[in-house]
Amino acid sequence: MFNFEVVAESKNTRARAGLLHTLHGTIETPVFMPVGTLGSVKSLSPEELLESRTQIILGNTYHLYLRPGCEVISQFSGLHEFMNWNKPILTDSGGFQVFSLAKLSKISDEGVIFQSHIDGSRHMLTPENIVEIQICLGSDIIMCLDECIKYPSNREETKDAMELTTRWAKRCKKTWGNGNNGLFGIVQGGMFKDLRKISADALVDVGFSGYAIGGLSVGEPKDLMFEIADFTLDILPDSKPKYVMGTGTPEDLVKLVNIGADMFDCVLPTRNARNGQMFTKYGTVNICNSRYKLDKGPIDPGCTCYTCQNYSRAYLRHLYIAKELLAYRLNTIHNIHYYISLMESMRNAICKGEFEAFKKDFLEKRGIL
């Protein structure tokens, strides 16, 4: 049965540590969820995710609905069995992808009609079927359908999208009933604090297992992102998990935990790995750089990941330049390990009452490289 409890709070910040109980196990928060778009965290095996101590992954409903589709996944007891991953899975609502990837999306109160980016086939997502699809996927945390707007959007567009998101959220809740998995509402309202407040209040009124903040990291200035996140995190109920969607850099995560965020997902560690960008506590290593040609040291000397324990920068540079498939995997193992370890460090610091010191030290070290 889905449940959340706060187990420690930072004194001078809003950072907190929690436990998120799901059907597939308990998650320690704050938590980062690697993105497994199509039923695979790109290049990694489930065992490698476990070795990095990944607690929960994110699956993209839009992508999985189109390919392989519910017909295939319903042959299995959901995405867990299909992809051989027995820990929790959160699935997004597909809303973001429909608006960013699909062709000719047409929106109405009923739902959104769109053409697949793969074969042009026509589909409709509604608040009802999006919940049913996620139930078919066996998701531990289901996200409501939301309307995502571009940045910048004017107040009227933003208000309309927010209100539609609220109406859809109610219908999602009705379809979900009172499932054993969690159902999260998504706060919209763009860069308008009063709209964010209306959205949050309305969703809390409906009552969800947790609350996500959507519509951030869509091109707005970083300061504005933090301002809106700060405002919105603060008005959401502290008894529920708070999820900032689609963010961010390591610095972003630390700053967002600082203001009370519990959950994150982002393609940055996986995508950057495939682009040869490796995270370290001193900054980013671009593995293509010729300075690493003869470098026998690991990516990050302090790192305990499989990649750093077994391979040199020289070898990783060689593999990457030669476009060897192993490069993408070894790089991803490192970056995911970096993100997961960062979340663990933050949680430990919160539990020990040392989060402020951790944050100061972390931000000082990053960017030295």
- Which chain residues interact with a copy of itself by CB under 8 A? 38-40, 42-45, 67-68, 71-72, 75-76, 82-84, 293-294, 296, 310-312, 314-315, 317-319, 321-322, 324-326, 328-329
Could you give the CA distance from residue 144 to residue 100 in angstroms, rounded to a whole number?
Answer: 17
Burial 144-182 (b: 16+ CB within 10 A, else e): bbbbbbebebeeeebbebbbbbbebbebbbebbeebebb
User: For a copy of itself, which is the closer residue by CB, 101 or 235?
Assistant: 101
- Quick one: CA torsion of 147, 40, 129, 146, rounded to 10 degrees? -10
User: For a copy of itself, which is the closer residue by CB, 149 or 316?
Assistant: 316
Assign 3-class secondary structure to 264-309. Answer: EECCHHHHHHHCCEEEECCEEEECCCHHHCCCCCCCCCCCCCHHHH
Question: How far apart are CB 327 and a copy of itself at their closest, in Å?
Answer: 8
User: For a copy of itself, which is the closer residue by CB, 155 or 293?
Assistant: 293
Query: Is-contact 148 99, C-beta < 8 A?
Result: yes
Catalytic one among 92, 146, 262, 300?
Answer: 92
Question: How far apart are CB 14 and a copy of itself at their closest, in Å?
Answer: 38
Q: Give the amino acid at 321.
A: I
Does residue 92 carry a catalytic annotation? yes
Question: How far apart are CB 35 and a copy of itself at their closest, in Å?
Answer: 13
Which of helix, strand or coil describes residue 107?
strand
Q: Give the amino acid at 277.
A: Q
Could you give the CA distance from residue 365 to residue 369 in angstroms, rounded to a whole number?
Answer: 9
Largest pairwise CA distance in the chain: 61
User: For a copy of itself, which is the closer residue by CB, 284 or 312?
Assistant: 312
Does residue 265 carry a catalytic annotation? yes
Question: How far apart are CB 280 and a copy of itself at their closest, in Å?
Answer: 20
Could you give the CA distance from residue 45 to residue 67 in angstroms, rounded to a whole number?
Answer: 19
Question: How far apart are CB 2 and a copy of itself at their closest, in Å?
Answer: 27
Residue 20 carries which DSSP code? E
Catalytic one among 119, 265, 300, 361?
Answer: 265
User: For a copy of itself, which is the closer residue by CB, 83 or 256?
Assistant: 83
Active site residues: 92, 265
